[in-house]
Structure formats: structure tokens, C-alpha cells
């Protein structure tokens, strides 16, 4: 969704639940970012607590959230089963895409991402507000986990199809790693850096450009494809781009490189 389309929906009173999926380093930093400025009517979504479970070497840095815990956030947001949800973040698209994927996985069907996030809204000159955001009444939406395909680490070990790595090329090649225990990638993976699919302002490229980039990687369908990144954020954005061009159906390996590299028995590949 473009900023202009969102502005029209908000200012004409269309029923939308608008979520600001903000994260920044430091305790409470994402919420402070939200409090300082957000799009009118937005509610705060904390990616680290609402959209992920407890991190660890066994499950990875950002494992799937516990459905019961996510249900409490559904209540905070006042979601109904048929709610139209729009998510945005500080601009890079990673946390908005994470919210899009988790909410779809949890059973919500009408979830959209604001292309370019908050900067695209501000670039159009639309107003922002400060403060804690709106107060909502509880809705009737129930978490129904498992509505999108998920791959486990064992699924990845046994996989005989395409395995896509959404991280930047230097991390994939093993030249740079600051987040996880080892550098490199899962053997056999093909690198499609999600930034290749975005303009400099972090909006997604055209459908033709995105489709061509996937075709160069050998992706012509979402079937028999597993997508991963470090811990499920870059890969969520890659999956969003795949859906935009009709390549839906790929499985998401949420544990990603953070889980794979933590197991010393797993092989590691390095190089372009």
C-alpha cells in the first residue's frame, strides 16, 4: 500500500487497524520511537515481544511467538477476525514484513504493508502525532497458528528443492558476521539479498524487476522452496516480495542462520 492510499483510507474513516512495528537497540527504544512520532490512529507493535518467542541457541534469535502470548497482543490491538490490518515500520521494511508474515501465519487474511514505511508517509507531507497511541476495545480475532508454511531445521536438512538466503551478499559469503556464531551459509543455498528487490528509499521495485531477479536465481514458483535469513526478518520481506509477484507457497525457516550456525554438527559453506 502506498502512503497516499493509506492517507485516503485513514482520513475517510475506513475501518483499519494500523500497527507501527518499531524496533531499535535498547530496552524500550522501539516504544520511545513510536511515542515520539507515529501515523495518526496507529497502535504500537513490539517486534521483539509480540512477533517472536524467547531467543536461544536451540530456537534461534527470533523464534515463532507463542500463540497464547500473541493472542494477548491481538486483544491489545482490538483485532476482529475480519479486521483490515496495515503495518509499517521505521522504513527498512523488515519489521513490517515480520508483522505481515506472523499475522498471516496466525490466521489474519487481510494484512497489508505500507511501502517505504514512516519515511514514505512523511515524504508526502502527511502529519504525524506523538503520545501513546489509540485505546481500543478487545476484538474477537483468535490466533490460529500455522496458516502459512513453516520449515524446521530438520526440514532444511532433508530439503531437495531451492533454499533461498535473504541476507546481504557479504554475510552469505562469510566475509562478515556480527550477529551469529559462525560466518557463511547453509550448504546449497542460493543468495537473493532482499535489498536487491528494493529501491534506495526501501520501497519495493516493480513486479517485473522483482520477478526477473527471482528468475535469475532459478525461482519460477514458490513450490518446494524454503526461505531463510538470520532470524526471520529479512526472509519475511523476501516472502512478501515473492507474494507480490505470484510466487506464494514458499516455506519460512524462521530459525534461520542463527539456529543453524549454533549447532556445531551442521555443515557450513562459505564463498559467493
Q: Does the pLDDT at position 135 exceed 90?
A: no
Whether residue 133 is contained in a domain is answered as: no
Give the β-pairing of 190-191 and 251-253: unpaired
40-56 pLDDT, tens digit each? 999 999 999 999 999 98
Whether residue 39 is contained in a domain is answered as: yes
The predicted structure's pLDDT at residue 136: 84
Whether residue 135 is contained in a domain is answered as: no
Whether 173 and 239 map to the same domain: the answer is yes
Whether residue 247 is contained in a domain is answered as: yes
Whether 9 and 67 map to the same domain: the answer is yes
The predicted structure's pLDDT at residue 267: 95
Are 156 and 207 in contact by the 8 Å Cβ rule? The answer is no
Mean of the per-residue pLDDT values for the chain? 95
- What phi-psi label fits residue 224: left (phi over 0), alpha (psi between -120 and 50 degrees) or beta? left
148-178 pLDDT, tens digit each? 999 999 999 999 999 999 999 999 999 988 8
Whether residue 233 is contained in a domain is answered as: yes
* Residue after which a domain boundary falls, among 123, 139, 165: 123
Whether 65 and 104 map to the same domain: the answer is yes
* Structural domains in the chain (count): 2
Whether 118 and 159 map to the same domain: the answer is no
* Residue after which a domain boundary falls, among 123, 145, 171: 123
Q: Does the pLDDT at position 134 exceed 90?
A: no
Banded model confidence at residue 11, pLDDT cuts 50, 70, 90: confident
For residue 22, the tally of other CB atoms under 10 A from its CB is 26
Distance CA 157, CA 162 (A): 12
184-237 pLDDT, tens digit each? 999 999 999 999 999 999 999 999 999 999 999 999 999 999 999 999 999 999
For residue 70, CA distances in Å to 65, 130, 220 come to: 6, 25, 34
Whether residue 267 is contained in a domain is answered as: no
For residue 35, CA distances in Å to 22, 56, 158, 246 come to: 10, 30, 45, 37
The predicted structure's pLDDT at residue 137: 82
Whether 158 and 104 map to the same domain: the answer is no
Whether 111 and 160 map to the same domain: the answer is no
Whether 189 and 256 map to the same domain: the answer is yes
227-264 pLDDT, tens digit each? 999 999 999 999 999 999 999 999 999 999 999 999 99
Whether residue 157 is contained in a domain is answered as: yes
Residue 188 grid coordinates: 546449497
53-106 pLDDT, tens digit each? 999 889 999 999 999 999 999 999 999 988 999 999 999 999 999 999 999 999
The predicted structure's pLDDT at residue 132: 86
Q: What is the CATH number of the domain that holds 54?
A: 3.40.250.10
Banded model confidence at residue 12, pLDDT cuts 50, 70, 90: confident
What residues make up the domain containing 191? Answer: 153-260
The predicted structure's pLDDT at residue 72: 96
Banded model confidence at residue 181, pLDDT cuts 50, 70, 90: confident
Whether residue 137 is contained in a domain is answered as: no
The predicted structure's pLDDT at residue 133: 80
Phi, psi of 249 (to 5 degrees): 110, -10
Among residues of the chain, what percentage have pLDDT more than 70? 100
Whether 172 and 227 map to the same domain: the answer is yes
Whether 232 and 188 map to the same domain: the answer is yes
pTM of the model: 0.95
Amino acid at each position: 500500500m502506498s502512503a497516499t492510499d493509506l492517507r485516503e483510507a485513514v482520513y475517510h474513516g475506513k475501518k483499519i487497524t494500523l500497527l507501527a512495528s518499531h524496533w531499535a537497540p535498547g530496552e524500550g527504544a522501539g516504544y520511545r520511537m513510536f511515542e515520539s512520532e507515529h501515523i495518526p490512529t496507529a497502535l504500537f507493535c513490539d517486534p521483539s515481544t509480540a512477533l517472536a518467542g524467547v531467543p536461544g541457541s536451540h530456537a534461534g534469535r527470533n523464534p515463532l511467538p507463542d500463540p497464547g502470548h500473541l493472542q494477548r497482543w491481538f486483544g491489545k490491538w482490538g483485532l476482529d477476525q475480519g479486521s483490515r490490518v496495515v503495518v509499517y515500520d521505521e522504513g527498512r521494511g523488515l519489521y513490517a514484513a515480520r508483522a505481515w508474515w506472523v499475522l498471516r501465519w496466525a490466521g489474519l487474511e487481510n494484512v497489508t504493508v505500507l511501502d517505504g514505511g514512516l519515511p514514505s508517509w512523511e515524504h508526502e507531507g502527511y502529519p504525524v502525532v506523538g503520545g501513546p497511541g489509540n485505546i481500543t476495545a478487545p476484538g474477537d480475532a483468535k490466533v490460529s497458528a500455522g496458516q502459512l508454511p513453516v520449515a524446521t531445521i530438520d526440514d532444511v536438512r532433508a530439503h531437495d528443492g531451492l533454499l533461498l538466503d535473504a541476507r546481504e551478499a557479504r554475510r552469505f559469503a562469510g566475509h562478515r558476521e556480527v550477529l551469529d556464531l559462525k560466518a557463511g551459509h547453509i550448504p546449497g543455498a542460493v543468495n537473493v539479498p532482499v535489498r536487491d528487490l528494493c529501491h534506495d528509499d526501501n520501497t519495493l521495485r516493480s513486479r517485473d524487476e522483482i520477478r526477473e531477479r527471482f528468475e535469475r536465481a532459478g525461482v519460477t514458483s514458490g513450490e518446494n522452496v524454503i526461505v531463510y535469513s538470520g532470524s526471520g526478518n529479512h526472509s519475511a520481506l523476501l516472502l512478501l516480495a515473492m507474494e507480490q509477484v505470484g510466487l506464494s507457497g514458499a516455506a519460512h525457516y524462521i530459525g534461520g542462520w542463527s539456529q543453524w550456525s549454533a549447532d556445531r554438527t551442521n555443515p557450513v559453506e562459505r564463498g559467493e
